[in-house]
Amino acid sequence: MQHHLAADETAPVALRQWLTEAVGLDQLRFRRPEPIGRSRDIWIVSGRDGAGEVIEFVSRRETGRGTFSGTTFTLRREAAILACLEGTAVPVPRVRAVAEDGDVILIDLVPGTASFEFDDDAVRARTVESFLATIARLHEIDPAVLDGVVEQPATAADHALIDLRHHQAAFQEFGAGEAALQRAFDWLHRSVPAQVQRTSVLQGDTGPGNFLHLAAEVTGLIDWETSHIGDPMDDLAWMWFRKCFLRGDEDVVDWYARYARLSGLHVDHDVVCFYRVLVLVRAAVATIVRRAHNPGVEDPKPARMCALVDAVLRDPYGRGGVSDALPPIMDADGRRRLEKVAP
């Protein structure tokens, strides 16, 4: 993994001791990746084995202050998902150790970068193709691979409702009565898609920033906290969120067309719109959870996200031609389904 590393820092003593025992390495050194995520405490760990070879890992530690603290989406759950996916058609980091309390996991350092900035358009296009092909392969894996780790949907509605209920539970635990989110949960329960083309393993939160690549090839999918079994259209909504909403890029119509070709699935834009609302709700809940764990810290994001969710609910499918001040979702032929309007 290519990182811009800050100067070496001193890791917590307890973490250093656990890692020494977990992997049996000497001369441990700890480096911070750039940028450092806010949901977990992350270190790049290197040390020498008995033969004197340098080995590198990634340590992910629960801080109690992040967007997943106190929710279903634990590091122990993520490690179990990664272990199940090891050896499948998708590249994921290998899990080396899990702390007894589940608050620290150690995974292999995967080569590549998570950066989505390119100087060469051809390299960018090949990287995107590799990413979409990887997600298409992920969606073809037998969901039974995660039996006993995550819940399996028994009905079409379960494909959305199982994960929705986890986020609603987090909202009820840590929320402060945000009316817009309660209305959104009510709408989502009423509007669950009646049909699902395929039941798939989903990465959740997939898209730019959450996969590693090297020489235009994906080397690993990372950040599996919110992985679950569901509808592939859910992951497509996450692609929109990470590409358009977070990065401000143009619409994902080309990505969707390429995904359809690679997966053999029809991209149902009404269903994507449903999951786009759910993705925004998930993101809003994450900011609320973080706020609850950091009392006294000024954070405008929960209010902003709740206001955005409220705006989206006025026209969630874009049929009124007005909407939510967000980049549009388009049909495969380029027709806009959600009009982009000024904020």
Question: What does the pLDDT average to over 128-132?
Answer: 98
Q: What is the largest CA-CA distance in the chain?
A: 67
Whole-angstrom distance, CA of residue 131 vs CA of residue 211: 8
Whole-angstrom distance, CA of residue 119 vs CA of residue 138: 28
Query: What are the pLDDT digits (tens) for 156-212?
Result: 999 999 999 999 999 999 998 899 999 999 999 999 999 999 999 999 999 999 999
Query: What are the pLDDT digits (tens) for 312-331?
Result: 998 888 766 544 445 656 55
Query: What are the pLDDT digits (tens) for 286-312?
Result: 999 999 999 999 999 999 999 999 989
Token pair of 231 as six digits: 């509808």
Q: What is the pLDDT of residue 333?
A: 52
Q: What is the pLDDT of residue 291?
A: 96
Q: What is the pTM of this model?
A: 0.90
Token pair of 52 as six digits: 């004197």
Whole-angstrom distance, CA of residue 128 vs CA of residue 112: 14
Whether the Cβ atoms of residue 86 and residue 94 lie closer than 8 Å to each other: yes
Measured CA angle at 340 (ends 336, 341), to 5 deg: 145
Whole-angstrom distance, CA of residue 286 vs CA of residue 280: 10
pLDDT band for position 48 (50/70/90)?
Answer: confident
Question: What does the pLDDT average to over 112-138?
Answer: 97
| pLDDT at 8 exceeding the cut of 70 | no
Angstrom distances, CA of residue 288 to CA of 32, 65, 261: 26, 11, 38
Percent of the chain residues topping a pLDDT of 70? 88
| pLDDT at 336 exceeding the cut of 60 | no
Q: What is the pLDDT of residue 113?
A: 93
Whether the Cβ atoms of residue 108 and residue 203 lie closer than 8 Å to each other: no
Whole-angstrom distance, CA of residue 209 vs CA of residue 15: 26
pLDDT, the chain, mean? 88
pLDDT band for position 254 (50/70/90)?
Answer: very high
Closest Cα to residue 43, out of 27, 61, 18?
Answer: 61
Query: What are the pLDDT digits (tens) for 71-93?
Result: 999 999 999 999 999 999 999 99
Percent of the chain residues topping a pLDDT of 90? 72
> Of residues 311 and 148, which shows the higher confidence score?
148
Whole-angstrom distance, CA of residue 258 vs CA of residue 217: 16
Whole-angstrom distance, CA of residue 126 vs CA of residue 214: 11
Q: Residue 158, Cβ neighbours under 10 Å: how many?
A: 19
Q: Which domains does the chain have, with CATH numbers?
A: 13-108 (3.30.200.20), 121-313 (3.90.1200.10)
> Of residues 287 and 50, which shows the higher confidence score?
287
Q: What is the pLDDT of residue 317?
A: 83
SS (H, E, C) the chain: CCCCCCCCCCCCHHHHHHHHHHHCCEEEEEECCCCCCCCCEEEEEEEECCCCCEEEEEEEECCCCCCCCCCCCCHHHHHHHHHHHCCCCCCCCCEEEECCCCCEEEEECCCCECCCCCCCHHHHHHHHHHHHHHHHHHCCCCHHHHCCCCCCCCCCCHHHHHHHHHHHHHHHHHCCCCHHHHHHHHHHHHCCCCCCCCCEEECCCCCCCCEEEECCEEEEECCCCCCEEECHHHHHHHHHHHHHHCCCCCCCHHHHHHHHHHHCCCCCHHHHHHHHHHHHHHHHHHHHHHHHHCCCCCCCHHHHHHHHHHHHHCCCCCCCCCCCCCCCCECCCCCECCCCCCC
pLDDT band for position 34 (50/70/90)?
Answer: low
Give the least confident one: 23-27, 197-201, 227-231: 23-27
Whole-angstrom distance, CA of residue 313 vs CA of residue 175: 19
